[in-house]
């Protein structure tokens, strides 16, 4: 049974962040730029404060004055509320000619009375320094008048409590908002945290297998090796083993060959299927290069293109593929007539031929079984390039004809869920997967430059194949 498990530790978190550092950098930069842009575009806000002192006008003894002061302190919160009432603000709006109402102006005013004091601080906000000072002073003057009007009267009719301005508001030199350095720094910090969160979330959602360790952890299959991604390479890289026999990729294919040999110690792996989970994972290119690697060791190898949906073997080797597997299965040509020999090598090719209308039925036919049984004694290895497991049922139908399958996994494309599904589907159909190969893997930065990657002239014995005369009819 295949289990899909993952555990997050400090090490894996750090590795995820290092791998996706660019996400953190980009989002941090976006946050900083957004904060600075907001600060530059936002309207400036200035604040100015006027201070009032509330005093008692009655009492001649210390006791009377103390009681009066206590009474005034108890009224300070009421006076603070009075400062933002329409009784005070409407005259201010009229005197200054402001284009607003009392409710809106009240939002731009803050009145504070420190505890156990008779001090009132009126702070006004406006879009200009002079405007802030004018509003604060106007509110303070109107509040002083209102306090006298609402305070209790003495026997002579004089107000018992008065408020006077002790510190008039002045035009401020600096704006209080937006604070460009603060806003930019704060937005950058928020962007940094958001970038870390995004990188970790992406790491959780990204279930691709960038290295052999991740592939081995995803499914309980032997990992036969990794094939490095060719810089700038696209679909259809070509025959790297023939083009660069001393290159890194050629050596990696040789490692896969050796690993597959050890994987088949207990049971002979002669008929090998090469497949993948989905399309465009490089299985056909792998099949071609792997077959060349086996032939390089002077083994007799037959490469069959059984991918009727999208045959590529003929194109990779640059041969005519009109006559091939389809022709043999339909009886239009013998195997000897259809196969193509690579001159001076031990590799033979059997292209797919014309695309049939019923690929699955042909691959599961008795003619296909008889063909495989007939050609197997002639070769050390029969490599069958089969369609992806999850795309069509062809690979599952062909699995009884082979000793094992090699599953090609694209390091930058295959998801863990796809891989688990493909392995389960193939094994449920009775197939056996001998091992997995990580294809298009990213080269490590500290990889040495021992291998010669420069293109080399193609040796004469790797030239274009030629058809061999018919010898055995299948």
For 348-386, what is each residue's pLDDT tens digit?
999 999 989 899 999 999 999 999 999 999 999 999 999
pLDDT at 307 over 80: yes
- pLDDT number for residue 5: 43
Distances (CA, A) of 188 to 40, 138, 196, 198, 306: 15, 40, 12, 15, 56
Superfamily of segment(s) 212-467: P-loop containing nucleotide triphosphate hydrolases (3.40.50.300)
- pLDDT number for residue 341: 94
Q: Which of 88-102, 263-277, 374-388, 451-465 has the lowest mean pLDDT?
A: 451-465
Q: What's the chain's average pLDDT? A: 85
- The DSSP result for 368-409, as a single string, is HHHHHHHHGGG-SEEEEE---TTT-SHHHHHGGGSSEEEEEE
Q: Which of 77-91, 99-113, 217-231, 313-327 has the lowest mean pLDDT?
A: 217-231
Higher pLDDT, 28 or 201: 28
Nearest CA among 117, 121, 133 for reference residue 46: 133
Answer left, alpha or beta for residue 422, where phi above 0 means left and psi between -120 and 50 means alpha. alpha
Query: In which order are the strands placed within the sheet that holds 161-167?
Result: 109-112, 119-126, 46-56, 161-167
Stretch 32-53: mean pLDDT: 92
Please give the structure tokens belonging to residue 310. 């999208």
Contacts of residues 238-243 at CB distance under 8 Å and 24 or more positions apart, as own/partner, are 238/285, 238/316, 239/288, 239/289, 239/292, 239/316, 239/317, 239/462, 240/289, 241/289, 241/292, 241/293, 241/296, 242/292, 242/458, 242/459, 242/462, 243/455, 243/456, 243/458
pLDDT at 458 over 80: no
- Are 274 and 406 in contact by the 8 Å Cβ rule? The answer is yes
Nearest CA among 340, 374, 376, 343 for reference residue 469: 340
CA 412/CA 228 separation, integer angstroms: 11
Residue 344 banded pLDDT, cuts 50, 70, 90 = confident
Higher pLDDT, 67 or 200: 200
pLDDT at 107 over 70: yes
Q: Where in the chain is the domain with CATH 3.30.70.1130?
A: 46-167
- pLDDT number for residue 360: 92
Percent of the chain whose pLDDT exceeds 90: 58
pLDDT at 234 over 50: no
pLDDT at 61 over 70: no
pLDDT at 286 over 90: yes
Residue 472 banded pLDDT, cuts 50, 70, 90 = very low
- Are 305 and 273 in contact by the 8 Å Cβ rule? The answer is no
pLDDT at 100 over 50: yes
Percent of the chain whose pLDDT exceeds 70: 85
Contacts of 447 (CB under 8 A, 6+ apart): none
- pLDDT tens, residue by residue, 169-195: 999 999 988 888 899 999 999 999 999
Stretch 145-164: mean pLDDT: 80
Answer left, alpha or beta for residue 318, where phi above 0 means left and psi between -120 and 50 means alpha. left
pLDDT at 56 over 80: no
pLDDT at 168 over 60: yes
Q: Where in the chain is the domain with CATH 3.40.50.300?
A: 212-467
pLDDT at 449 over 70: no
Contacts of 149 (CB under 8 A, 6+ apart): 159
CATH number of 46-167: 3.30.70.1130
pLDDT at 68 over 80: no
* pTM score over 0.85: no
Please give the structure tokens belonging to residue 334. 């013998």
Residue 332 banded pLDDT, cuts 50, 70, 90 = very high
- pLDDT number for residue 204: 73
Stretch 413-438: mean pLDDT: 92
Longest CA span, the chain: 137
**Residue linked to tokens 């994972």:** 281
* Partners of 124 in beta bridges: 48, 109
pLDDT at 451 over 70: no
- pLDDT number for residue 445: 57
Residue 268 banded pLDDT, cuts 50, 70, 90 = confident
- pLDDT number for residue 148: 87
Residue 8 banded pLDDT, cuts 50, 70, 90 = low
With b for 16 or more beta-carbon neighbours within 10 A and e for fewer, the 163-184 pattern comes to bebeeebeebeebeebeeeebb
- pLDDT number for residue 236: 44
């Amino acid at each position: 049974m295949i289990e899909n498990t993952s555990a997050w530790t400090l090490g894996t978190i750090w590795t995820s962040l290092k791998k996706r550092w660019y996400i953190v950098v980009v989002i941090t930069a976006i946050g900083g730029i957004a904060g600075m842009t907001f600060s530059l575009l936002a309207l400036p806000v200035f604040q100015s404060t006027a201070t009032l002192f509330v005093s008692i006008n009655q009492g001649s003894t210390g006791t009377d004055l103390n009681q009066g002061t206590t009474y005034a302190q108890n009224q300070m919160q009421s006076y603070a509320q009075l400062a933002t009432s329409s009784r005070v603000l409407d005259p201010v709006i009229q005197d200054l000619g402001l284009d607003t109402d009392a409710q809106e102006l009240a939002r731009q005013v803050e009145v504070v009375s420190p505890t156990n004091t008779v001090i009132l601080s009126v702070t006004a906000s406006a879009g200009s320094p002079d405007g802030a000072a004018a509003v604060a002073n106007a509110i303070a003057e109107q509040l002083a008048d209102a306090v006298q009007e609402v305070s209790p009267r003495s026997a002579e009719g004089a107000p018992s409590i008065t408020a006077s301005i002790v510190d008039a508001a002045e035009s401020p030199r600096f704006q209080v908002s937006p604070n460009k350095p603060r806003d930019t720094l704060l937005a950058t910090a928020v962007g940094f945290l958001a970038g870390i969160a995004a990188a970790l979330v992406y790491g959780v959602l990204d279930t691709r297998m960038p290295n052999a360790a991740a592939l081995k952890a995803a499914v309980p299959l032997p990992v036969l090796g990794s094939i490095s991604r060719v810089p700038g390479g696209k679909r259809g890289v070509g025959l790297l083993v023939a083009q660069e026999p001393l290159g890194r990729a050629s050596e990696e294919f040789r490692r896969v060959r050796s690993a597959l040999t050890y994987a088949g110690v207990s049971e002979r792996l002669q008929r090998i299927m090469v497949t993948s989970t989905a399309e465009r994972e490089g299985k056909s290119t792998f099949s071609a290069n792997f077959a060349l690697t086996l032939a390089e060791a002077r083994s007799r190898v037959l490469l069959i293109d059984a991918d009727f949906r999208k045959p590529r073997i003929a194109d990779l080797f640059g041969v005519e593929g009109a006559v091939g597997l389809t022709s043999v299965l339909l009886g239009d040509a013998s195997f000897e007539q259809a196969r193509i020999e690579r001159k001076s090598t031990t590799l033979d090719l059997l292209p797919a031929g014309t695309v049939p209308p019923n690929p699955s039925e042909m691959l599961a036919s008795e003619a296909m079984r008889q063909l495989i049984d007939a050609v197997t004694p002639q070769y050390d290895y029969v490599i069958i390039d089969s369609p992806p497991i999850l795309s069509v049922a062809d690979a599952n139908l062909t699995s009884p004809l082979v000793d094992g399958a090699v599953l090609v996994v694209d390091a930058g494309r295959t998801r863990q869920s796809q891989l688990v599904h493909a392995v389960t589907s193939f094994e449920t159909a009775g197939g056996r997967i001998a091992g997995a190969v990580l294809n298009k893997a990213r080269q490590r930065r500290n990889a040495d430059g021992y291998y010669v990657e420069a293109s080399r002239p193609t040796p004469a014995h790797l030239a274009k194949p030629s058809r061999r005369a018919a010898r055995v009819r299948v």
